[in-house]
Structure 1
Amino acid sequence: MNIWELIVALILGVVEGLTEFAPVSSTGHMIIVDDMLLQSKELLGSQDVANTFKVVIQLGSILAVVIVFWSRFMDLLGIKKQDQSGSSRLTLSTVLVGLLPAIVLGFAFEDFIDTYLFSVETVIVGLVAGAVLMIAADWKVKRDEKAGIGTKIDGLDAISYKNAFLIGLFQCIALWPGFSRSGSTISGGVLLGLPYRAAADFTFIMAVPIMAGASGLSVLKNLEYFTADMIPFFAVGFVSAFIFAFISIRFFLALISKIRLLPFAIYRIVLAFVILGVYLNMN
């Protein structure tokens, strides 16, 4: 394992950490940074090893969410109850209801998605369509504010089973690569009447079990690639993804209520054109 290979692992970990939970599509960024520029598949000598690495760095990002929301997860698991002050709390069953649509559709269409939807063209479509959804969410909030209409759902702990299920349906849109899980679910939550911060919190909390489950299974299926030569590469990517995901999540949560979704939507559209330009130049 040479220095350049470790630098590639570091760069990809940083890209994963910064984009996995921001509503900008980590898939789109990986296409332009890895598939078009760094080409870890060629570096590692195998697409399977490259895919395993991407799963490993995704686990680093997931760990960052767990740390940021540690008290909330302990509360959900009944390990450490937060001060309820006589009010209702978000429950584990509510989170599971939100996960149900994506789990069912993900299993049902896994082969179709892997075969037909992972391409540069489909990611570009997802980036632009996801941006339109985010702009629509912002537009609705501005319209309601002008009409003197407040949020319909007070906050994270006021999410009902119905709300969770509907937000889960929005999460299903992210099965199309490029849409972004956080972009779809935050937009869905806002459209349903959640404050931006509560929609973001619920999005991140829902992401952990579904992503950890899928990534964990993938790691178990590919343990053969965790050789002594590859461990340093995986470790650098994992640690860098964790650190930059932690920074990205804290920064995003502090800003989302102020800047809302429009800046991210504009960024996604610009990114789509950049990917299209690079793709056309390469072909």
Structure 2
Amino acid sequence: MDLILIIKAIILGLVEGLTEFAPVSSTGHMIIVDDMWLQSEKFLGKYGANTFKVVIQLGSILAVVVIFKDRFIDLLGMGRIKNKHSEQTGGRLKLTQVIVGLIPAGIFGVLLENYIDEYLFSTETVLIGLVIGAVFMIIADRFGPKNPKVQSVDQITYKQALTIGLIQCFSLWPGFSRSGSTISGGVLIGLSHRAAADFTFIMAVPIMAGASFLSLLKNWQYMTLDALPFFITGFLSAFIFSLVSMRFFLKLINKIKLVPFAIYRILLALIIYLVYL
């Protein structure tokens, strides 16, 4: 395996890991970095490169499972999460609430998959998503409740779960950001930034895992022995950097909120537009 290709796998895993769960759009960053610099399609072919991006997403998914392992054990009925919110209210996040949040984007994702793959995976469309998503994040911070009632995912209602799920549909546009849309939506309807982020990450596991495994099944022929070191390196890189970035993000989100990420998105879009387009 070419050492240069291994280095590219590490870089793409780094980009995925640092951006998957921050509200800046990992898909957008992957498209920009790969299209403008790494160009993995030249080495793996179009569908092999797409398969690689699915594999490194699985690395990020594994990082979520590790960080929220107790929560997932609780959701599956094999344990019990105890915190001040669940003890005070007697409630806790239910698996059915997560499913309700997943349904809208799941339906639209299946219906629009071919259109999205064909027409929306370009640097130009990503820049549009980055800017519009940034504006939405600024609106959320500006108009969301100053003292949100929902401080924990254990206090989320079915109505709130469905509303966040509907807002998540915006993230089907590359560059808009799954976490950016759902955290912003959650903040607007009365969740704290941390509660919205936790719910976002928990929802991400089944929807990302399902989409990833379906894509792998369709493109399994590209998982050749020659390409395997590239895939494994990218997977491990994404897993490690996701672990680090998620822990950092979850500690800070209630303090820094969304506007700094929105500013970054707008500046990134402006720089890419001026320099490369």
Confirm or deny a common fold (TM above 0.5): yes
Alpha-carbon RMSD across the aligned residues, in angstroms, is 1.3
**4+ residue segments displaced more than 4 Å:** none
Q: CA deviation at 1:154?
A: 4.0
How far apart, in 2, do the equivalents of 1:274 and 1:154 lie?
Answer: 36
Q: Which moved more, 1:16-25 or 1:109-118?
A: 109-118
How far apart, in 2, do the equivalents of 1:129 and 1:198 lie?
Answer: 23
Deviations 1:166-194 (A, max 9, x none): 00011000011110000000000000000
For 2:173, what is the secondary structure of its paired residue? Answer: coil
Query: Which residue identity is paired with 1:29?
Result: H
How far apart, in 2, do the equivalents of 1:43 and 1:276 lie?
Answer: 26
How far apart, in 1, do the equivalents of 2:257 and 2:151 lie?
Answer: 17
Deviations 1:95-124 (A, max 9, x none): 000001101111122222222222222211
Alignment of 1:175-186 (within 5 A): 175-186=172-183
Aligned position for 2:63: 64
Aligned position for 2:20: 20
Counterpart selection for 1:90 from 89, 93, 97: 93
Q: CA deviation at 1:219?
A: 1.2
How far apart, in 2, do the equivalents of 1:53 and 1:114 lie?
Answer: 15
How far apart, in 1, do the equivalents of 2:19 and 2:59 lie?
Answer: 12
For 1:227, what is the secondary structure of its paired residue? Answer: coil
Aligned position for 2:149: 152
Query: Which residue identity is paired with 1:234?
Result: F
Q: What count of residue pairs does the alignment treat as equivalent? A: 273
Counterpart selection for 2:135 from 132, 135, 141: 132
Counterpart selection for 2:106 from 98, 103, 106: 103
Give TM-score scaled by structure 2 length: 0.95
Aligned position for 1:115: 118
Q: Are the structure 2 counterparts of residues 42 and 278 from structure 1 closer, same or farther at C-alpha, using a change threshold of 3 Å?
A: farther
How far apart, in 2, do the equivalents of 1:125 and 1:182 lie?
Answer: 17
Q: Does 1:276 align with 2:273?
A: yes
Alignment of 1:183-194 (within 5 A): 183-194=180-191
The answer as to whether partners of 1:152 and 1:192 remain within 8 angstroms in 2 is no
Query: Which residue identity is paired with 1:36?
Result: M
Q: CA deviation at 1:79?
A: 1.6
Note the residue ranges of structure 1 that are not aligned, 5 or more in a row.
Answer: none
Aligned position for 1:74: 73
Aligned position for 2:212: 215
Give TM-score scaled by structure 1 length: 0.93
